[in-house]
């Protein structure tokens, strides 16, 4: 948008007075932030309204991206950048005696996600607006998010993440668009004179779903799409006869939209998760149908104007919910309703881990969602009947939706969608050949790959402004809208001046992170050390343990010889463990205990440090990623679907240490094998071990003296304060099979890390590798990924720019 500095300053001062009845000199950071946020939302409002009007008038087909998570990060600078007024506002605020960076710190990270799933969804809605694809997000407005992580004596403690305490300046409450979602009750069917079945629901529990809309602003265009998040509230009542019963019921209803991923280690927690999933699915699909009616088209044409995307299995109930609305409210016959449903819906699988493929007990679904369960049963029955003449009984039983007393949500999503995609080429091949092989045989044309992506706007243009300026200087700024133009940087791979500039920027970013660590953690770390980064959700398959065992091996080497030739290194961790995931929480305790041991041992001369940041999230990632020298992508091959931290880190010039897992395979192809450090088992070797059962982790413990010493340290008192945790982890690795082949890959990993140490000693060679990684990162822009979805799956067209 066009905005002069003079007009901005006038608008800001006027808005500040209108909101707070004060002038600039009286204001403090909170007033400045909320004034600026309201003003930015106002700047976007005209295009937001115009975008919605245009979509409706032109009957544009629209995409609705259903996701349990949207890990947005702070939105202030992102919105300013996309509106094209970041520099104007920064300069205008400076004239008023204010600092944009300080104002931004007031904003809380929205508590709407946990890891890669939610960050991907956030990148996708940003890219859809930027690529002018009519696409919107649909999720839950979690009051407390996942949790606020604190470390107490090294243990993870979960506290409420009260991110809405001071309000959310970006959202608009749309009470007039609220819908009712029904739970429980008894359903009986009556045949109408016209021949269709009329369901009657009695004694149901009603929940009011209230939408809160957030503008999603496209980069340097006039498109503003919508992220709609639903809040669970008590429906209006004429009177309250029993106040305390009302309070109890209100608390129960409001809990639906309070916490992301309630503890599922007990029945009540699992029930609440199922409530959440149906709540935002039903509210969202009802809202879509209501909006579609404004087009005055037949319901049989729904797939021509609506695409609903199921991001992982959490929204899989879109299948029976859309069927319910078409059958019960639109009175379509089954076959027509099913055809519409399949053509409207598409599904992304995000996991190879069988335990992450959701299933719900039949008793739970039939009690909580009686009409939905009836429809699922009918979908299942018709699927079995249609397959009975084509496939053997065993295969039908493996692929049906209801099996063993459980409803399998991935099966429901696959059967009820016209497209099923994986999120990296290797991941998709594993789905087709192994995890979902039976479904691939049944529906081969449905399966396709869409490798994940990231938005370069947040992860480079905002998070690393010095690097952005250097790139603009070298190749111009067309890469900001055509990210593959970053490949032109490759022309400077042998330009010493460019490589030196790149090194200066990296050191500046490392100094900034070191300053943050000093201020917030009281630790001193040297920017001259290698910053070795592993930032991702804590799970055993991601193998933070492998990293830690190697750190211990370096530590013991320095204990034996303090003069050992090891380049100083700072190991940086950021990770949350699910509250009920005991083993992951034990790993967190072990990392923190090892950090206490190493960080306080003066005998090793500051050659090793461990920084484990609390409450890792998007804003912390924006500090860490530009400062990273090494990107740890060390999951067991075949277990990580894609990964996106690998892409963010390479975009900022980190060199990747990786297994051939997920998108690492494609990263290697882009940068060349000489610019990435690969180690460990391949996917084929892992599955060979599965087939022949020949892996015996105890043998590696016995035969490798370095590994033996490191593992013994877990149980012999070398690491204070981890007696129970150390024993559990030792047993899991040595005596109970080492599920994720940590010991098998240890030696190869140690050699890879030795290679890092040697390469880093040649500054120009290291910076050349960094530059080639940056140059190769453009292809992993989420802009390209959503365009592939739009063309291949959603069948939507982008507006001509």
Alpha-carbon torsion (98, 100, 103, 105), positive or negative: negative
Interatomic CA distance for residues 343 and 173, integer angstroms: 31
Interatomic CA distance for residues 441 and 438, integer angstroms: 5
SS3 348: strand
- Positions annotated as catalytic residues are 350, 536-537, 542, 644, 648
Helix (H) or strand (E) holding 612: strand 608-613
Q: Are 772 and 490 in contact (CB under 8 A)?
A: yes
Strand runs labelled E in 14-111: 62-66
Residue 588: closest CA among 616, 629, 619: 616
Interatomic CA distance for residues 535 and 528, integer angstroms: 21
Tokens of 738: 């080492």
Q: What angle do CA 727, 731, 734 make, to 5 degrees?
A: 130
Tokens of 511: 């100094």
The DSSP result for 476-545, as a single string, is -SGGGTSGGGGGGGGGGTT-HHHHHHHHHHHHHHHHHHHHHHHHHH-----TTSEEEEEES---GGGTHH
SS3 159: strand
Place of tokens 């006038």: 10
Tokens of 391: 């496939």
Residue 423: closest CA among 455, 453, 454, 449: 449
Phi-psi region of 405 (alpha: psi -120 to 50; beta: other; left: phi over 0): left
Alpha-carbon torsion (686, 690, 694, 695), positive or negative: positive
What are the Cα distances from residue 174, in Å, to 125, 169, 214, 457, 488? 20, 14, 11, 29, 46
Backbone angles phi, psi at 559, to 5 degrees: -60, -40
The DSSP result for 735-779, as a single string, is IS--TT-HHHHHHHHHHHHHHHHHHHTSHHHHHHHHHHHHHH-GG
Q: How many helices (H) and strands (E) does the chain have?
A: 32, 23
């Amino acid at each position: 948008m066009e905005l002069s500095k003079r007009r901005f300053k006038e608008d800001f001062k006027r808005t500040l007075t209108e909101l707070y009845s004060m002038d600039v000199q009286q204001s403090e950071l909170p007033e400045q932030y909320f004034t600026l946020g309201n003003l930015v939302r106002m700047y976007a409002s005209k295009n937001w309204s115009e975008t919605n009007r245009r979509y409706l008038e032109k009957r544009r087909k629209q995409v609705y991206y259903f996701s349990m998570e949207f890990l947005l990060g702070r939105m202030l600078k992102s919105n300013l950048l996309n509106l094209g007024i970041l520099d104007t506002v920064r300069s205008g605020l400076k004239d008023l005696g204010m600092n944009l960076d300080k104002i931004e710190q007031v904003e809380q990270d929205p508590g709407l996600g946990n890891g890669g799933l939610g960050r991907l969804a956030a990148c996708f809605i940003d890219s859809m607006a930027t690529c002018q694809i009519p696409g919107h997000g649909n999720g839950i407005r979690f009051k407390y998010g996942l949790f606020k992580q604190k470390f107490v004596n090294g243990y993870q403690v979960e506290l409420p993440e009260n991110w809405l305490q001071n309000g959310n300046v970006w959202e608009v409450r749309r009470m007039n668009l609220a819908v009712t979602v029904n739970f429980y009750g008894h359903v009986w069917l009556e045949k109408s004179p016209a021949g269709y079945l009329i369901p009657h629901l009695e004694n149901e529990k009603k929940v009011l779903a209230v939408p809160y809309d957030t503008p999603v602003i496209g980069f340097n265009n006039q498109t503003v799409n919508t992220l709609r998040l639903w809040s669970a509230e008590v429906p209006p009542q004429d009177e309250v006869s029993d106040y305390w019963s009302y309070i109890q019921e209100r608390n129960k209803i409001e809990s639906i939209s309070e916490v992301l991923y309630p503890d599922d280690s007990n029945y009540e927690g699992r029930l609440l998760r199922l409530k959440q999933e149906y709540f935002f699915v039903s509210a969202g699909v009802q809202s879509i149908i209501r909006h579609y009616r404004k087009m005055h088209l037949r319901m049989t044409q729904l797939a021509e104007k609506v695409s609903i995307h199921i991001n992982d299995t959490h929204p899989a109930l879109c299948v029976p919910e859309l069927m319910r609305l078409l059958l019960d409210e639109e009175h379509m016959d089954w076959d027509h309703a099913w055809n519409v449903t399949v053509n409207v819906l598409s599904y992304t699988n995000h996991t190879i881990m069988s335990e992450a493929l959701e299933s719900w007990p039949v008793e739970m679904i039939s009690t909580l969602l009686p009409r939905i369960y009836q429809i699922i049963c009918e979908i299942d029955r018709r699927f079995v009947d249609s397959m009975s003449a084509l496939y053997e009984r065993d295969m039908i039983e493996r692929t049906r939706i209801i099996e063993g007393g459980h409803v399998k949500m991935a099966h429901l999503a696959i059967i009820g969608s016209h497209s099923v995609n994986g999120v990296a080429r290797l991941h998709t091949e594993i789905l087709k050949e192994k995890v979902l092989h039976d479904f691939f045989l049944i529906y081969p044309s449905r399966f396709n790959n869409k490798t994940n992506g990231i938005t370069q706007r947040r992860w480079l243009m905002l998070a690393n402004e010095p690097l952005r300026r250097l790139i603009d200087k070298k190749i111009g700024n067309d890469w900001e809208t055509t990210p593959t133009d970053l490949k032109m940087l490759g022309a400077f791979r042998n330009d010493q001046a460019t490589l030196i500039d790149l090194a200066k920027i990296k050191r500046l970013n490392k100094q900034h992170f070191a300053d943050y660590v000093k201020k917030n953690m009281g630790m001193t770390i040297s920017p001259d050390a290698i910053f070795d980064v592993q930032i991702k959700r804590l799970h055993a398959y991601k193998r933070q343990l492998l990293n830690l065992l190697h750190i211990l091996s370096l530590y013991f080497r320095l204990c034996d010889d303090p003069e050992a030739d090891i380049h100083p290194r700072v190991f940086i961790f950021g990770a949350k463990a699910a509250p009920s995931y005991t083993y992951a929480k034990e790993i967190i305790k072990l990392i923190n205990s090892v950090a206490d041991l190493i960080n306080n041992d003066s005998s090793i001369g500051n050659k090793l440090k461990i920084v484990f940041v609390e409450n890792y999230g998007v804003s912390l990632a924006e500090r860490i990623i530009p400062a990273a020298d090494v990107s740890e992508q060390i999951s067991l091959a075949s277990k990580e679907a894609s990964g996106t931290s690998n892409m963010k880190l390479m975009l900022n010039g980190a060199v990747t240490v990786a297994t051939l897992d997920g998108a690492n395979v494609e990263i290697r192809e882009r940068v060349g094998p000489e610019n990435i450090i690969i180690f460990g088992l391949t996917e084929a070797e892992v599955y060979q071990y599965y087939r022949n059962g020949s892996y015996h982790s105890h043998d590696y413990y016995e035969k490798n003296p370095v590994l033996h010493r490191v593992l013994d340290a877990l149980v012999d008192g070398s690491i204070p304060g981890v007696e129970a945790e150390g024993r559990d982890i030792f047993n899991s690795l040595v005596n109970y099979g080492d599920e994720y082949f940590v010991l098998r890959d240890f030696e190869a990993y140690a050699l890879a890390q030795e290679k890092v140490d040697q390469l880093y000693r040649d500054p120009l060679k290291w910076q050349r590798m960094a530059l080639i990684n940056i140059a190769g990162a453009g292809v992993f822009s989420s802009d390209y990924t959503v365009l592939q979805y739009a063309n291949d799956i959603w069948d939507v067209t982008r507006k001509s720019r």
